[in-house]
Structure 1
């Protein structure tokens, strides 16, 4: 085997790429993991992990120059000093918008596994059935029971804190003890349960922050610093750097190559197999070919699809995997930025300990069991209660002892929650290659043509009204609903574009995440999703990746790939 030959190539080093590298290398394959951005080493390169707002030149708010340089990132919270440089450079890697799409990308080793919200929920049985039952898009080629053992497997390794609730809408998993609800959340949970006769449940968040140490991975339990997006030097949450990458490197079978822009999958049209990938060195522009028996695409949903579109164009005009006409279509996200807030009276003798990295979750209840709405699917809520700190007195005119006393006393309690709703897989929500615009390396960029439709707009009315209804039923005061500016992409849960299915004529991937047109190419990131559910999708990517990697190695041993 030459220096440029491997058993498997993994494109991308985020949540799914890290899992692919771990599973393939632990199963004995020589693996090359390619990352288009810079390396970030665990602990050593978490430059801002111990900083506070006052340690930044502009107190962690974006400068005018940052806003000019990052016109997309400035649309929401990701543009700030503390995470500056952790999001993709928009000048080097632009994209175009037929319709507004907020695409927040992490181009570095670890990808968005260093930046994610860590909410980790399983799809339920109905999530895999709904498309077929409702005549939407295509049927998932797998069912919950196909993925359940793999959910178990990845939860145990990643470390998911949560509580078992026995709810069919939100299957229980292999949990560490949950991050506790505070006193207000516990009481509001009890009031909601009583007011709605047990049909709605306010429960602990399920998140990839460990509450018990995992010494075998060198990870210490969460320190309640709420600085997860700066990289955790304690390994308190699951990321490529803290968990999967060390496991893969430990085998001696993994080679990691950062600054590697993969430009296309190399395809042998006679053998109908991929033979490797072409890479542009991001620093020198040198073009290199790497050969392999397996290729795992884990570059994030849209970039994996971009790579398919830019490959084998001499065979298919639309690229590798385009024969069904579905490549690039069926874009999904989770629509949110709608919910409610309220004031909570009392509890003035109570305060919180530390800074929790999670709050509460209210699982879906709409279009569930006997509930029927004028739209399809449903939504869940994420939220928290907290007590106002020193910020409450900023606008006040007190001075001297009066001001000091005011700043040392916490304010009243408040509570808020945002709904996350499912977006249906519409064929005309799509991305495609824009050959008129090129990136820093001369490659065509993606164009976005995505919108939410009537089903989501109808759902949003309930997402706001129900939040207000629950807070009012719980006896809270000054209840205010909101529905603020949402554009597709803002959920940072982009999915679809290379969906799984049962038929090569209507899907890009089969039930094992193999590209129908090249069975030794696997896509296991968000691109593969056939529908979106309303829960955060990362745990499902992990389970699908581990499952596909195990299958790929066995097929390779059998000589089928």
Structure 2
């Protein structure tokens, strides 16, 4: 279900029950939950509309039908997408889903690298996310308290478990029930399968490294579609490996395929696109947020929208920038910032360290389709034994595949023998890459630049982030342990890799978290355990900005569960008259 024209608004005197800023993974969930619970809701999105199944212009386009065979023109990439082109999903099929870096710049100190990957359109990055979906456990929610890095989470796994289930049933997560305490099981659809090489390596790995396990990655792709998914207009995954182009089948979860249709079905949703939120409106007499001030992305005109509750879902950096720009006599350093924590403790996952190698044999095996997930080894460091060099831990993700005809591009040959070589699959290879937890540190921060402005006259966001000693030691162990595992599994020509911070800058994992963290104490945190601002009771932040730490798992499923939980709480508080 796409939004009819009547659902889109510009200026309006209408007062809403709720305003949701952002339309990505969390914004879509907020709109769904609020409207289904009876609230007249406005979704405000700074980017353009994107219609499901219509505006996926790169979908089903073969490379030879695209300019430069799908590669973005080098001059265009450099001038307009100098940061976005670093993302694995960026090419000619998808560039319409990525920000123009020339128009939407930000600053870093002394040119220090930080890669902010953004997708400002209706649906946000839900249109091209990687879809890996994992629950966190109490190992993660208790970590700050136990090792002293970051403030204690005001929630535990038991608080979020029913909301994980609520979200998983609607989203559709394909995965196996593995019975691991470090990675709780969920409400799963049929898992995707290991190929022959992965199954053999899994058996050998599990026998050697127990209680660690190699499992199939849990992904928000419908391996099979349940009745609730068919009712959303979604169909099973076709294994095309085109997810980041947009999926007309709705086989992977996105705002367009799932939460937006649910919200529109209620008749209570309105959408304001091309509306850049400048700030949250605040009434000091009532100590309440009263709405948002926006700048029209095309006309530069300013307008206001008003509501009883405001929920920020504009991404970790986006939501925090809005709060920092929402200054008043009561909050001169940003709305709801009496703690001074706003803008600090930014994390991103540690990445780009691992190993790969060649697998001998299995010449009579191949695989069908392009499976949307791979193998996954959940965290094993600092679970039972304490590592001497660092705290927290990481996962190792990877998979096995055979070299295809593409490898002929860098091999010598000509004529009949060369053509015969292209037709025959090459050797099997298997890789493992780490994803680890970056410790929250006060000095890793974002702020508003004191003098520089963006295209719309708003202060540029200034990002100051580096990896710490614990982070660097963990990344080294990712590469070393991946290499050791592959050597034990019998792979040949094993090569470890660990990119430098210049080659792999913070931000490129695209898992930014922190900067408006939740906590128990209003003196050291921005939000309480319900994602509600300590200082302003009708203001909520439910995206990655709310996270008190980053854990080692992909965070999107947790963002969704937190959003659904916070929205239910907000509605209950509104009914009780407390906000």
- The bucket for the TM-score relative to the shorter chain is over 0.9
Q: Does 1:89 align with 2:100?
A: yes
Which whole-Å CA distance do the structure 1 matches of 2:466 and 2:140 have between them?
A: 22
Residue deviations 1:110-164 (CA, integer Å, cap 9, x gap): 0000010000001111111110111112100011100000000000100001001
Where does residue 545 of structure 2 map in the other structure? 527
564, 567, 570: which one aligns with 1:552: 570
Q: Displaced runs of 4+ in structure 1, greater than 6 A?
A: none
State the TM-score, normalized to the length of structure 2: 0.95
**In the alignment, what sits opposite 1:191?**
204
Per the TM alignment, residue 57 of structure 1 is displaced from its structure 2 partner at its CA by: 1.1
Matched, 1:500 2:518: yes
Matching residue of 2:333: 318
1:255-270 equivalent positions in 2, closer than 5 A: 255-270=270-285
1:309-364 CA distance string (max 9 Å, x none):
11133322211021101000000000100000010011111111001111111000
Checking the alignment, whether the CA contact within 8 Å between 2:25 and 2:125 is kept in structure 1 is: yes
CA RMSD of aligned residues (A): 1.1
Match of 1:32 among 26, 36, 42: 42
Q: Which moved more, 1:371-380 or 1:332-341?
A: 371-380
**1:117 paired to 2:130:** yes
8 Å contact kept, 1:100–1:448: no
Give the corresponding residue for 2:61.
51
C-alpha separation between the residues in 2 aligned to 1:313 and 1:373? 48
Maintained 8 Å contact 1:4/1:289: no
CA offset digits 1:12-67 (Å, max 9, x no partner): 00000000000000000000001000011100111111112222211222322221
SS, match of residue 303 in structure 2: strand
Q: Distance in 2 between matches of 1:334 and 1:107?
A: 22
Q: Distance in 2 between matches of 1:337 and 1:395?
A: 24
Partner residue, 2:363: 348
1:288 aligns with: 303
Pick which of 2-11 and 125-134 moved more. 2-11
Q: Which residue of 2 aligns with 1:8?
A: 18
Distance across 2 between alignment mates of 1:350 and 1:371 = 40
Instruction: Classify 1:255/1:457 alpha carbon distance in 2 versus 1 (closer, same or farther; 3 Å).
Output: same
* In structure 1, C-alpha distance between the alignment counterparts of 2:415 and 2:224, rounded to whole Å: 44
In the TM superposition, what is the alpha-carbon distance from 1:86 to its structure 2 partner? 1.1
Scaled by the length of structure 1, the TM-score of the pair is: 0.98
Report what 2:157 is aligned to. 144
Corresponding residue for 1:542? 560
> Cα–Cα, structure 1 residues 230 and 79, in superposed 2: closer, same or farther, change >3 Å?
closer
Tell me how far 1:405 sits from its aligned partner.
1.5
Report the CA distance between 1:492 and its aligned residue.
0.3
1:329 aligns with 2:344: yes
Distance 1:100 1:313 in 2: 32
In the alignment, which residue of structure 1 is the partner of 2:294?
279
SS across alignment from 2:332: coil
Q: Which residue of 2 aligns with 1:69?
A: 80
In the alignment of these two chains, the number of paired residues is 559
- In the alignment, the residues of structure 2 paired with residue 392 and residue 110 of structure 1 have an alpha-carbon distance, to the nearest angstrom, of 35
Residues 390-539 of structure 1: pairs in structure 2 closer than 5 A: 390-484=405-499, 485-539=503-557
- The residue matched to 1:209 in structure 2 has which SS? coil
Given that 1:195 and 1:474 are in contact with CA atoms closer than 8 Å, whether structure 2 keeps it comes out as: no
Shift of 1:397: 4.0
| C-alpha distance in structure 2 between counterparts of 1:372 and 1:388, whole Å | 36
What 5-or-longer segments of structure 2 have no aligned partner? 1-11
Residues 171, 10 of structure 1: CA spacing in aligned structure 2 closer, same or farther, 3 A cutoff? same
Contact 1:9 1:295 in 2 (8 A): yes
The aligned counterpart of 2:375 is: 360
1:233-278, CA deviations, whole angstroms, 9 ceiling, x for partnerless residues?
A: 1001000000000000000000011101010100001110001111
Are positions 1:182 and 2:195 aligned together? Answer: yes
The residue matched to 1:514 in structure 2 has which SS?
A: coil
> Secondary structure in 1 aligned to 2:95?
coil
Q: 5 Å matches for 1:222-241? A: 222-241=237-256
What per-residue deviation string (whole Å, max 9, x for no partner) do you get for residues 169-197 of structure 1? 1000000011111111111111111222x
Distance 1:502 1:395 in 2: 57
